[in-house]
Structure 1
Amino acid sequence: MTDKLTFFSEADNPEMIAAFHKAQETFKYFWRELSWEFRRIVPALDLACVKVAFMENVSYQAAPIVEHMWINDVEFDGYVISGTLANDPNELSNVKNGDFVEVPLNQISDWLFTSGGKTYGGFTIQVLRAGMDEEERIGHDQAWGLDFGDYNDVSVVYEQKEHPENLMEHPMSINMKDKLAAFIGEHPAELSKQDQSGYTILHREIVAGNKSSVEVLLQLGADKNIKTGKGNSALDLAKQVGWEEIIPMFEN
């Protein structure tokens, strides 16, 4: 992490505060999609970014300066979100475009990914759009180059209305079960291999919420008691991120 400090601050607008909380509650879907994007040969996402609030105390005013700005190149370990600041601030002097940023999950204010022109997330954006007239919304969407659709209807996963089961699990997790089993069969050492942060493949699949992948790994002998470098177990990660369908697999 750079020496640039990051802070979180909630606005006074109750609709915006609700949007912040909704973004935090649903961030797991953003990360699940991005985790699969990293594995795709042909990218499916046009944009994937997270909004973070930055704050700076200044001597010439009582209240700190707060700016909400987007980061990209996002990573997530179940507790901490990291990425690169994607723009220069208007007023802040303690951060700049290109800075590396690390914040806990409860310090994000929004997330957004797009595919084929359709947007997912963007809760704070929709609050702003709700306060615009139709002409302003059209201009706003044209500036982004995206169609944000109905500000009262925010999707968090692909084909959410047509396939509500996609909220429970990503289709690719189900479709890739056999290939995952075959891969582990050929490379059994991958089950216990830990990265520099102490994460195994089981830990990573849990953070991404891939139930079918987790089932395969456990069936093939993955040790659910291995802890990360920070001492977090598989169950700890499932609870922290909030994957309710995975938690019982480790509590029983």
Structure 2
Amino acid sequence: MEDNTFIFTDGTDPKMIEAYRKARETFKYFWREVSWEYRRIIPALNLACVKASFSEKDPETGNDIVEHMWINDIDFDGDTVKGYLMNEPNNLTSIKADDYFEIPLNEISDWLFAITPSVKKQKGISSLFSSPKEPVPKAYGGFTIHKMRADMATDAERKEHDSYWGLDFGDFNHIEVVHEQEEKPENLIEHPMSRNMREDFITFLKDYPDELTHVDDHGYTLLHKETIAGNQSSVEVILKAGADKNQKTNNGKTALDFARQLNWEHLIPVLEN
């Protein structure tokens, strides 16, 4: 079988373990972006996936066989990352592509999403006789990938690696977690769609007031979900509309519990007041 490039199995390298830690710590930004993607009429993401380790016992030696692989079609409830295995394992026999998994957040090993940059209009007479190059999707996250890129001997090797993925990974010393992070640092605080849709959201709740008190099968309200996604404008609108911030999920968690758990620092004081 040909090696699967979506797999990396070294869980002992200290720098790789640090990459796992950073991925778990910043996963909230991945989920924030993906949760807005699910609301877009026109999709913006080229790729959105999460890496985790999968293992089984070798029947001959009794040793653990471990592979780190990617899942997609991600859902997240504040505690658990859910999705479907993207590829066939190289060595594991008990799982297969498209199998469904639920993985605690503290057990994921990486996340990655990619967005194609907007094509800027060319200036000058030369633009009349040439078309702009198709932009390469820019990757965000990918901490374990950047660790491996850092270990590569040459820029040419990194370029070949990136070309295989078809993504622009950028500088392995500066990993971005938010779209247009350098151009618009305020996006680290709140997703632009949350800010821009505030008035529309106010109108939505006026038109559909039952959404404010609706509880899903797991006890989650709109306030829980918007808190988990880190959307301050939405949370403020929901609270002003009269939502019960003390309502708990079936697992006994309030919106404030999720804000603290995910370290959404901008939401904690909003929910504490």
TM > 0.5 fold call: yes
Question: 1:198-217, aligned counterparts within 5 Å?
Answer: 198-217=219-238
Compare 31-40 and 227-236 and name the one that shifted more: 227-236
Structure 1 counterpart of 2:144, which letter?
A: T
- How far residue 32 of structure 1 moved from its aligned partner, in angstroms, is 0.2
Q: Measure how far apart 1:228 and its partner are.
A: 1.2
Letter in 1 for 2:139: T
How far the C-alpha of 1:159 sits from its partner, in A, is 1.2
Give the SS at the match of 2:72: strand
Which runs of no fewer than 5 residues in structure 1 stay unpaired? 1-8
Aligned to 1:58: 58
The residue aligned with 1:150 is: 171
CA distance in structure 2 between the partners assigned to 1:243 and 1:143 by the alignment: 35
Distance in 2, Cα, partners of 1:101 & 1:59? 23
Q: Deviations over 1:123-176 (max 9, x none)?
A: 100111111122211211111111211111110001111211111111111111
1:242 Cα deviation from its structure 2 partner: 1.6
Shift of 1:234: 1.2
Aligned to 1:115: 115
Q: Does 2:136 match 1:136?
A: no
Once the two structures are superposed, the pairs formed by residues 210-229 of structure 1 within 5 Å of their partners are 210-229=231-250
Larger Rg: 2
Counterpart contact for 1:10–1:17, Cα < 8 Å: no
Aligned sequence identity (%): 57
Q: Is the 8 A contact 1:49 1:72 kept in 2?
A: yes
The aligned counterpart of 2:146 is: 126
Q: How many angstroms apart in 1 are the aligned matches of 2:155 and 2:256?
A: 47
Per the alignment, residue 203 of structure 2 pairs with 182
Q: Give the conservation status (yes or no) of the 8 Å contact 1:225–1:233.
A: yes
1:172 is paired with a residue whose SS is helix
Q: Which amino acid letter does the alignment assign opposite residue 35 of structure 2? A: S
In 2, Cα distance between the equivalents of 1:112 and 1:220? Answer: 35
Alpha-carbon distance change, 10 to 76 in structure 1, aligned in 2, over 3 angstroms: farther
Task: Supply the AA of the counterpart residue of 1:243.
Answer: W
Q: Name the SS of the counterpart of 2:45 in structure 1.
A: coil
- State the partner residue of 1:6: none
SS class of match (1:46): strand
Q: Report which stretch shifted further, 9-18 or 225-234.
A: 9-18
Give matches, 1:69-84, under 5 Å: 69-84=69-84
Distance 2:194 2:115 in 1: 19
Aligned to 1:5: none
How many Å separate the matches in 2 of 1:245 and 1:94? 43
Over aligned residues, Cα RMSD in angstroms? 1.3
Deviation of the 1:10 alpha carbon: 7.5
Distance across 1 between alignment mates of 2:272 and 2:204: 27
Shift of 1:71: 0.1
Q: Following TM superposition, by how much is the alpha carbon of 1:60 offset from its aligned partner in structure 2, in angstroms? A: 2.5
Residue number in structure 2 paired with 1:27: 27
Unaligned runs of 5+ in 2: 1-8, 117-136
2:255 to 234, 237, 248: 234
Query: Once the 2 structures are TM-superposed, how far is the Cα of residue 251 of structure 1 from its aligned partner?
Result: 2.2
Q: Which has the higher contact order (CA 8 A, sep 6+)?
A: 1
Give the deviation of 1:62 after TM superposition: 5.1
For structure 1, which segment, 222-231 or 49-58, has the greater mean C-alpha deviation from structure 2 after superposition?
222-231
2:23 counterpart SS class: helix
Mark the CA change 1:182 to 1:163 in structure 2 (over 3 Å): closer, same or farther.
Answer: same
Count of matched residue pairs: 244
Contact 1:50–1:111 (CA under 8 A) maintained in structure 2: yes
* Counterparts of 1:203 and 1:93, CA distance in 2: 38
Q: CA deviation at 1:244?
A: 1.1
Structure-2-length-normalised TM-score: 0.87
TM-score, scaled relative to structure 1: 0.94
Cα distance between partner residues in 1 of 2:195 and 2:50: 27
